[in-house]
Amino acid sequence: MNFSSPNLLTVAVNNTLTPFTLPCGQIVRPVGPMYPSGYFRQELIFDFFNYAGIHRSVCLLSLPEPHVTGLLLHPEVVTRLDGPAVGNVWYVVESSANNSGFAAANVSCAVKIFDKDGTIVFESGSSCTGTADLDSPRLWWPIGSESQEVGHMYQLEVILLVDSHVVDIYRQSFGLRSVKVEADGLYINDKLFYFCGFGKHEDFHVFGRGFNLPLMVKDFSLMAWTGANSFRTSHYPYAEEVMEYADQHGVVVIDESPAVGLHEFPNETLKHHQRVMEELVDRDYLHPSVVMWSVANEPKSTDRQAEYYFRTVFDHVRKLDPSRPVTFVIGGSNASLDRAAQFADIICLNHYYGWYTDTGVLNLVSPQLMYDVKTWRDRFQKPVIMTEYGADTIAGLHTSPSFVFSEEYQVELMAEYFTAFDQLRAAGILAGEMVWNFADFMTDQQVNRVWGNRKGIFTRERQPKAGAHVVRQRYHSLASRDSHNSSELRNLAPEHLYQVISVV
C-alpha cells in the first residue's frame, strides 16, 4: 500500500458454474454443423439468474499495530431451577500483539457490554478472556411477540491496550435468546413460534443482485406491511446489512447456503460444501435472528449417495454450532424414498400442487397437500414447514373464471393452501408457511419463464398484486389468533384488511 499516491486494486471475478461449485451448473459444448467451432453454453441447475460481479459493499480497513484480529463470542441463555434465566456471554479476544514483539504481560483488554439503551451491564478491567453473567437479561424476541421487547441487541466493546495505552477498539453486537425444536415446532425463548414469511431473492430490475440500502428498507417495510415475521435466504447467504437489519427489527431468518442444484455428490463437492458452511456459520453465528441453518435447497435427496453426503454435512454443521437446529429444503422427493430428511431437525417442503402438478385443478390442492405433509410427518415424526408454494402470476392479468397466470388464480390457489395449513397446524404438524416468492425475480431464458419467475406477490418493482393483500390478511389474522390478548395484537394490525378470503 502506497499512502503517498493512488493505488490500483484489481479483483478478478468468475461466475462459471460446474458440478463442483455451489450453486451447481455445467458447461455444455455442442458440436456439429449447427454450431460454430468452440461454441459452449453455461447451463444452470436452478431457477434464478446467474449474475456476475461483486454484489456487496467493499470495505478497506486501515488497522493499527497491534490490533484486534479476532473475537470469539458465545452468548447463551442459561435456565436455572432456583430462579430466572441468566445471560451467559463467554469471550476470547485475539490480537496481533504477540506477533508484533509485545510481551504478553504488557497486553490487556478492557471489555464492556452495553444494552440497547447504552447502559453498561458488564465491565472487566484487564483480561482478554472471560465470562459475563447477565442477571435478568433482556432477551431478543421476534416481531409479533406479545408484551415482549422486539429485537433487543447488546453490544460488546473491546479496548485493546499495550502498556496501558489504547491501541485499538472493536465492537460487536449480539443478542440473547434460546432456540429449540419440539414435536409441534420451533420454540424461541420457550415460546412456540409459527413461521409466517417468504422465500426471497436478492434481485431488482435496475441493478440485479447488487446490494442497495433503500431497497433493503423497502423490502423489510413491505414484509412488515404483510404481517410477516420471517424469511429464508433462498438460495444463498444474504448481505451482512440484511442480517443486521433483521436482528434489529426482530425478523426471524432461516439462513441458507448456496448449495442449490445438487444432483451429484462427489467428494470434491462435499469438501467444498463443508468449507462453505464453515464460512456461513462463522459469519452469521452471532445473529439472533438466525434460528436455523439450511444446508441445501432441493437436492436430489433420493440418490443413494445423498445419505452419506448429507450425514457428513449435517454432522459438520452441528459441530460448528450445536445451539441451532439444522435443516435442508426438500423438493422433488417423497417421504418413502428420501435419504437425507432423517438428518434434519425440521422437515422443510417445497410443493406446487395446482401449478407444476395437476395444473389448474384447484380442488385437488388441499387434499393432496394434506396427504403429502402427513406422510412426511408419519415417517420422520418431525414438525414441517411449507417453505415454498405458489403460482406464477402476471400483474394486471385478470380472468373470470380464474385461469393460470392470472391474479385471480394466485388468490384462489392460496386459499386452498390456507385451508390445508389450518388443519395441519391444528393437528400439531405444521410449524410454518412461507410464500414463494416475496417478489418476482429474474431467471435465465426459458419458454416457461416470461421475463423471469413471476411467483412473487409483489412485482419485481415492488408493486403489490392481489395476492399481496390476501397474504396480508392471512398473516395479520394469524397473529390475532395466536395472541393471548387478541385485542392488543389487533391494535397492531391495519384497520382495513382486504377481505378476499375468510379466515376462521
In the chain, where the domains are located: 68-174
pLDDT category at 484 given cuts 50, 70, 90 is: low
Is the pLDDT assigned to residue 129 strictly greater than 70?
Answer: yes
List, for residues 136-149, the tens digit of each pLDDT value: 999 999 999 987 89
pLDDT digits (tens, 9 = 90+) for 354-411: 999 999 999 999 999 999 999 999 999 999 999 999 999 999 999 999 999 999 999 9
Q: 457 or 502, which is more confident?
A: 457
pLDDT score of 488 more than 60: no
298 as an active site residue: the answer is yes
Report the percentage of the chain scoring pLDDT > 90: 86
Cell 479476532: give the residue. 70
Residue 149 contacts by C-beta under 8 Å, 6 or more apart in sequence? 138, 139, 141
Comparing 35 with 148, the larger pLDDT belongs to: 35
For the record, the C-alpha cell of 60 comes out as 478497506
pLDDT confidence of 60, banded at 50, 70, 90? confident
Res. 104: pLDDT tops 90: no
Q: Which of 240, 241, 244, 298 is catalytic?
A: 298
Distance CA 366, CA 372 (A): 10
Task: Give the rounded percent of residues in the chain with a pLDDT score beyond 70.
Answer: 94
Cα 370 to Cα 178: distance, rounded to the nearest angstrom? 31
Task: List, for residues 425-436, the tens digit of each pLDDT value.
Answer: 999 999 999 999
Question: Residue-wise over 321-338: b if at least 16 C-beta within 10 A, else e?
Answer: beebbbbbbbbebebeeb
pLDDT of 490 above 60: no
Q: What is the pLDDT of residues 210-267, one digit of tens each?
A: 999 999 999 999 999 999 999 999 999 999 999 999 999 999 999 999 999 999 999 9
The pLDDT tens digits of the residues spanning 153-191 come to 999 999 999 998 999 999 999 999 999 999 999 999 999
3-class SS letters over 160-171: EEECCEEEEEEE
In this predicted structure, what is the pLDDT of residue 494? Answer: 54
**pLDDT for the residue numbered 499:** 46
Strand partners, 405: 393
Q: What CA–CA distance (Å, rounded) separates 177 from 155?
A: 15
Q: Rounded to whole angstroms, how far apart are CA atoms 251 and 241?
A: 13
In this structure, which topology does domain 68-174 adopt according to CATH?
Immunoglobulin-like (2.60.40)
pTM: 0.94
- pLDDT at residue 29 greater than cutoff 90: yes
- Residue pLDDT, tens place only, 408-425: 999 999 999 999 999 999
The mean per-residue pLDDT over the stretch 442-470 comes to: 96
